[in-house]
Amino acid sequence: MSNSAMPQEPATFDIDVRARMGREHKGNAQKTVSDARQRLTSSSGTRASYDFELMQEYADARLTGAFPIAAIVVILACVSSLWVPALFTALWAGVVLLSLATVALIARRFQRTNPQKFNASQWTTTFVVAECIYGLTWSTLALFTLVANLESLTAVMFAMVLVCIAANAVSTRSLPPATIFSTLPATLTVSVNLIALGGTLNYTLAGVTICGEIFFVYIARQMHTADLDTITHQSEKDALINDLEEARQMSDEARRHAEQANIAKSQFLATMSHELRTPLNAIIGFSEVLQSELLGPHQVAQDKEYAGDIHSSGQHLLNLINELLDLSRIEAGKYELNEEVVSLVEIAEDCRRMMELRAKAKGIELIYNVGRNLPRLWGDERAIRQVVLNLLSNAIKFTPQSGKVILIVTRSGDGGQMVSVKDNGPGIPDEEIATVLSSFGQGSLAQKTAEQGAGLGLPIVQKIMDLHQGRFDLFSKLRFGTEVIATFPRARVMDALAPVVERKQKLEIYSDAS
């Protein structure tokens, strides 16, 4: 695998993000245009797709209500035959049922229509015409007065027209024009006929008929509004589900790119670590040889100083590479602890001795306090040593000359063990603590008062303590110093662990001898 191809992944990811944002912007514009077109082609002023669903509900209601309404027509014809000749009522019922069948057939044909070829205006006109014819057949009720006893028939017509209004208003609620044309003809003809007959009773019945028309049309309108709201909410829910699905797909794609970038980073670090360590080891080794003058004294006195600078720079670069690799392995979940029984006191003492020369070089007093009778821990000795060294190194680095650093190893309040490193350096402002604890983060005051670093020490300490199920705390006050505490849980203290019991199987030898 070529190393030159690895750094190109972030650029590819940025291109994909920009392309995806462009697609989203274009999709939003297309959606706006589509919504406007839907409203312009809608018969209800909302969306053409809503018109289709409303007409679908109208067709379903007409088909499911066809048989009940037909039964009502037959019952009304039978009842009215007590006052009207049977032949006349049968003829009326036949005409109404024929028109009802026509409406049902048109509804059936609508249900078989391809939604992609749906024309709202055409189908609205078709349904309204069919309902108008259907309503006119109901209006022939007024002709009953020509062949029947008027005094007994007015109440019958009144009851029949109310049944007509109620049944048709409920069945056509999803299509308001159809409601008007299916109920208004019968209402007008019967009301006009009742008014023409005269009399207080007939005037009252005509008025109630007109009021019934207004009431049931209002109810149908309310039901239409409720149906439209339901369809709108369903459409919004479907759109939200689609948006969530698109967002999930985008999230999966972004995660895939991030994983690929992380893999590329890990491969790059693994490759570059080998490529960098090999020449660094040679640089450090030969510079140490030159510095110690193993091959003879230098003819120029400054050559030894230059060799020392080369050696210290190589060591610094090697430590930086090691920190980068440790952080990369921890973040990738490939940092494995080699756990064993260790002594936190001994590890802290070794680290103190290693850092004592650096502290003396800056005139810093390094104080070491340790608790009594501290038991051993179960942990990774190399990782714990790295924790203590990082904490001491940071404290010495950020403490001014003639300052003081205190290293304490003792029990924690919950029965575990803790390492505390406290200094009287410049401290860290509260708003910069989160930055200091992040990878490659450095505080402003620390940058001004101490030598530069990579900003990886504390993040590595945090992650190592997490691997040990421990806790890392940082307390700092500006111009008063900083205290960092690494606490190991009680479960890792050896006196808190359950003792190991060795079970020995006793072999009993049975003898057959008497």
DSSP letters spanning 19-47: HHHHHHHHHHHHHHHHHHHHHHT-SSSS-
Instruction: Give the type of residue at 82.
Output: L
- Least Cα distance to 160 among 205, 200, 118, 223 occurs for 205
- Of 293 and 344, which is predicted with more confidence? 344
Q: Per-residue pLDDT tens for 162-213?
A: 888 888 888 888 888 888 888 888 889 888 888 888 888 888 888 998 998 8
Band the pLDDT of 503: cuts 50, 70, 90: very low
Q: Per-residue pLDDT tens for 18-53?
A: 555 555 555 554 555 455 455 444 555 556 667 888
CA-CA-CA-CA torsion sign (475, 464, 322, 407):
positive
Q: What distance in Å separates the CA atoms of residue 489 and residue 469, rounded to the nearest whole number?
A: 7
Residue 439 gets the label, from left (phi > 0), alpha (psi -120 to 50) or beta, of beta
Q: Per-residue pLDDT tens for 303-325?
A: 777 887 787 787 777 777 777 77
Q: Are 440 and 455 in contact (CB under 8 A)?
A: yes
What number is the average pLDDT over the span 465-487?
A: 89
**pLDDT greater than 60 at residue 291:** yes
What is the CB neighbour count within 10 angstroms for residue 457?
A: 19
Q: What distance in Å separates the CA atoms of residue 407 and residue 401, rounded to the nearest whole number?
A: 17
What is the CB neighbour count within 10 angstroms for residue 472?
A: 19
- Of 503 and 126, which is predicted with more confidence? 126
- Least Cα distance to 484 among 425, 440, 444 occurs for 425
- Could you tell me the CA-to-CA distances from 139 to 150, 185, 383, 499, 510 in Å, in that order? 17, 6, 96, 99, 113
471-477 and 481-488 as β-strands: parallel, antiparallel, unpaired?
antiparallel
Residue 50 gets the label, from left (phi > 0), alpha (psi -120 to 50) or beta, of alpha
DSSP letters spanning 112-175: TS-GGG--HHHHHHHHHHHHHHHHHHHHGGGGGGGTS-HHHHHHHHHHHHHHHHHHHHHHTTTS
| Cβ neighbours of residue 157 closer than 8 Å, sequence gap 6 or more | 141, 142, 144, 145, 190, 193, 194
Q: Are 481 and 400 in contact (CB under 8 A)?
A: no
Q: Are 132 and 181 in contact (CB under 8 A)?
A: yes
pLDDT at 270: 64
Q: Which tokens is 349 given?
A: 């003492």
339-342 and 404-411 as β-strands: parallel, antiparallel, unpaired?
unpaired
Band the pLDDT of 455: cuts 50, 70, 90: low
CA-CA-CA-CA torsion sign (291, 292, 295, 299):
positive
What is the CB neighbour count within 10 angstroms for residue 6?
A: 19
417-423 and 481-488 as β-strands: parallel, antiparallel, unpaired?
antiparallel
pTM of the predicted protein model: 0.48
Q: What distance in Å separates the CA atoms of residue 319 and residue 270, rounded to the nearest whole number?
A: 15
Q: What distance in Å separates the CA atoms of residue 245 and residue 228, rounded to the nearest whole number?
A: 25
pLDDT at 4: 38
Q: Per-residue pLDDT tens for 221-247?
A: 888 888 888 888 887 888 888 888 888
Q: What distance in Å separates the CA atoms of residue 328 and residue 23, rounded to the nearest whole number?
A: 35
pLDDT at 129: 92
